[in-house]
Amino acid sequence: MSQLPMIAIEHLDVHFGSSHVVRDISFSVAAGETFGLVGESGSGKSTVLRTIAGLNPGWDGRMAVAGQNLGPRRDRAFFRRVQMVFQDPYGSLHPRQTVDRILAEPLEVHGIADAEARIARALEEVALPHTARFRYPHQLSGGQRQRVAIARALIADPSVLLLDEPTSALDVSVQAEVLNLLSDLREARQLTCILVSHNLAVIAHLCERLAVMQGGRIVEILSEAELRAGRAKHSHTQDLIALSYELEG
């Protein structure tokens, strides 16, 4: 890679009390690239994302975003640059706040003006109807909630987006819309993304490269072409690919 990677992770370890959840992980993501993270349930994918986002305190190793090393605490500028979409759209929206309020929050925190216009534009970008703006989360379907979560992540113009299973709770038609939306936004805004998913087809659709995790370790990093062609070296990856093909029938 010619220029500095946007995200660099070196020898990352994460502990929760006595359990060692992520073990010696290293990877890097170039600016504008989308990097996939797959692996079995409980292998530590969400933990990696949450640790980058500063939501897990117990880690060692080196992490850098845009060339700046990350410390134990993140400043406001970091959250302007890095945003995350959580795995569970049912749990990640405040149950007492309307969509409008949820979207206004990042703007208020960062002191961004023209909130009105930005919220309207954000809703339009994720193709939410205007009627959804003053609703509460429980009045929206799962797919609509996830789009609100994506709109919230994008509203303060981040350059890095951490996506934790953004479409696994969505039906296939909404999944298609969200995937199209993500690829459009990525083009338009030069976003760098890390995408966690258990669906290899989704990963192949969006990512240039991906890492396969098992038991807290990265067992293999491969490119989209290698994935599609089934040229994996590790047996776990081969199993996953074989199963995915079988399901596609």
Partner 1 sequence: MSGMNNGNLVEIRDLRVDFPNPSGFTQAVRGISFSMGREKLGIVGESGSGKSVTGRALMRLLPQAARVRAEALRFDGIDVLGASERQMRTLRGGRIGLIMQDPKYSLNPVMTVGRQISEAWLAHNRSGSGGGGKREARDAALTLLEQVRIRDPKRVLGSYPHEVSGGMGQRVMIAMMLAPNPDLLIADEPTSALDASVQAEILKLIEDLVSARGMGLMLISHDLPLVARFCDRVVVMYAGQVMEELPARDLHRAQHAYTRGLLDCMPSLSKKRARLPTLTRDAAWLERHA
Partner 2 sequence: MSATTRREWLLSDTPASRAQARWGRRYQLWLAFRRNWLAVAGLLIVVAMLLLAIFAPLLATHDPGAQQLANRLQPPSAAHWFGTDELGRDSWSRLLYGGRVTLGMVVAVVILVAPLGLVVGCVAGYAGGLLDKVLMRVTDVFLAFPRLILALAFVAAMKPGVESAVVAIALTAWPPYARLARAETLTIRNTDYIAAVRMTGASHWRVIWKHVTPMCMPSLTVRVTLDMSSIILTAAGLGFLGLGAQPPIPEWGTMIATARRFILEQWWVPVIPGIAIFTASLAFNLLGDGLRDVLDPKQR
Residues lying near ligand ATP in the complex (CB under 6 A): 16, 19, 21, 39, 41-47, 87, 141-143, 171, 198
DSSP 87: S
What are the residues whose beta carbons fall under 8 Å from the beta carbon of 40, sequence distance 6 or more? 198, 213, 214, 236
Q: Give residues 157-176 in contact with partner 1 (rule: CB under 8 A).
A: 165, 168-176
* 143 near partner 2, judged by CB under 8 A: no
Q: What is the CA radius of gyration of the chain?
A: 18
Angle at which helix 115-125 crosses helix 99-109, to 10 degrees, equals 120
Least separation in angstroms between residue 24's CB and ligand ATP is: 15
46 binds Mg ion (CB under 5 A): yes
Place of tokens 């379907």: 141
Residue number, nearest CB to Mg ion: 46
Site string for partner 2, 37-66 (x = CB under 8 A): -------------x--xxx-----------
Select from 19-27, 46-54, 97-105, 131-139 the region that touches Mg ion (CB under 5 A): 46-54
- CA 59 – CA 53 distance, rounded (Å): 12
Q: Is residue 147 involved in binding partner 2 (CB under 8 A)?
A: no
- Contact call for residue 239 and partner 1 (CB under 8 A): yes
**What sign does the CA torsion over 229, 232, 235, 240 have?**
negative
β pairing state of 192-196 and 209-214: unpaired
Burial group, residue 219, by CB count within 10 angstroms (0-12, 13-18, 19+)? middle
Residue 104 or 194 having the CB closest to ligand ATP: 194
What distance in Å separates the CA atoms of residue 132 and residue 129, rounded to the nearest whole number? 6
Instruction: Say if CB 112 and CB 118 are below 8 A apart.
Output: yes
Cβ count within 10 A of residue 99: 26
Residues numbered 104-123 forming contacts with partner 2, rule: CB under 8 A: 105-106, 109-110
Tell me if 83 contacts partner 2 by CB under 8 A. Answer: yes
d(CA 11, CA 132): 43
- For partner 2, give the closer residue by CB, 106 or 205: 106
Minimum separation from the CB atom of position 8 to partner 1 (A): 25
Which range binds partner 2 by CB under 8 A, 63-71, 129-137, 183-191, 212-220? Answer: 129-137
Contact indicator for 173, 181 with CB cutoff of 8 Å = no
Closest separation in Å from C-beta 118 to ligand ATP? 27
Which residue ranges make up the site for partner 1 (CB under 8 A)?
A: 16, 19, 38-42, 46-47, 87-88, 90-91, 141-144, 165, 168-177, 179-180, 183, 198-202, 204-205, 215, 227-228, 239-241, 243-245, 247-249
